[in-house]
Every structure is written in structure tokens, then in C-alpha cells.
């Protein structure tokens, strides 16, 4: 039985973030094991996720600029947080959403030996 941890890395409550929380709520209502792992500098996004009613872990970071992306994606601290969060949440599958989570999810999946699913939410990622 899959236990999905949806991974969001972002700085705002936008369409993808709302869609992920709605998807998680629907799946939980159907009895699926689902949770959220979030990395964000945004008070709004952290609060939105906390109010969702979905089990979650949130890491607050300083920014979302280019240097922050590099250090958060390739440095050890965010990967350690996410790896620990997926374990604590009982995840056996990570579903990555939004651009900032794609490389991180692969690093987490590899560290834990679990599969990764990645969803693109914007055609701009293909350009």
C-alpha cells in the first residue's frame, strides 16, 4: 500500500500548492496514507499547509533566489530534513511538485531507496 509524501518547495501559495493540498485531502478522505513535506521561506505557504489538516513537516528557509536554490538543493541540510521527514511520516513514495523539488526529491528517494513521481505544473519548465 503506498504511503505518499507530497514534496513542495516554493515561496507562495499558488495554483500548484493549492492543487497538491486538495489532492492530498481527497486521497486521505478515500483512506489513502498521504502527507506533505514543505520547504519554504513563505509565512503564507507554511500557514496554508499547517491549516490543511494533512500530516506535514515544514522547513522554513531564508530565501528562494538562485544561490538559495543551489545551497538548498545540493547542500546536505535540506536533504537531511526531507529524508528524516519522509521517514517520520512513513512515506514509501515521494511525489515531487514544482520546479524546486525535482532534484531534491531524487536525492531523497535515492537516500531512502524509494520511488519518486514527478509532476510538472507549468509548461515553462519545458522551455
E strands, 29-92, where? 33-40, 56-60
Q: Which residue has the higher pLDDT, 84 or 122?
A: 84
Closest listed residue to residue 35, CA positions, set 44, 43, 23, 46: 23
pLDDT > 90? residue 82? yes
Q: What is the pLDDT of residue 125?
A: 56
Report the C-alpha gap between 104 and 28 in whole angstroms: 25
pLDDT > 70? residue 126? no
Q: Supply the pTM of this predicted model.
A: 0.90
Q: What is the pLDDT of residue 100?
A: 82
User: What confidence category does residue 99 fall into, taking pLDDT thresholds of 50, 70 and 90?
Assistant: confident
Report the C-alpha gap between 6 and 4 in whole angstroms: 6
Q: What is the pLDDT of residue 69?
A: 81
Q: Are the C-beta atoms of residues 35 and 8 closer than 8 Å to each other?
A: no
pLDDT > 70? residue 72? yes
Amino acid at each position: 500500500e503506498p504511503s505518499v509524501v507530497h514534496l513542495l518547495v516554493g515561496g507562495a501559495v499558488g495554483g500548484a500548492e493549492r492543487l497538491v493540498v486538495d489532492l492530498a485531502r481527497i486521497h486521505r478522505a478515500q483512506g489513502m496514507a498521504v502527507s506533505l513535506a514543505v520547504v519554504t521561506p513563505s509565512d503564507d505557504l507554511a500557514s496554508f499547509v499547517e491549516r490543511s489538516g494533512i500530516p506535514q513537516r515544514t522547513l522554513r528557509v531564508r530565501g528562494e533566489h538562485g544561490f538559495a536554490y543551489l545551497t538548498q538543493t545540493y547542500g546536505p541540510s535540506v536533504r537531511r530534513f526531507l529524508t528524516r521527514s519522509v521517514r517520520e511520516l512513513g512515506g514509501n513514495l515521494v511525489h515531487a511538485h514544482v520546479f524546486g523539488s525535482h532534484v531534491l526529491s531524487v536525492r531523497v528517494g535515492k537516500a531512502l531507496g524509494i520511488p519518486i513521481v514527478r509532476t510538472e505544473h507549468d509548461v515553462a519548465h519545458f522551455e
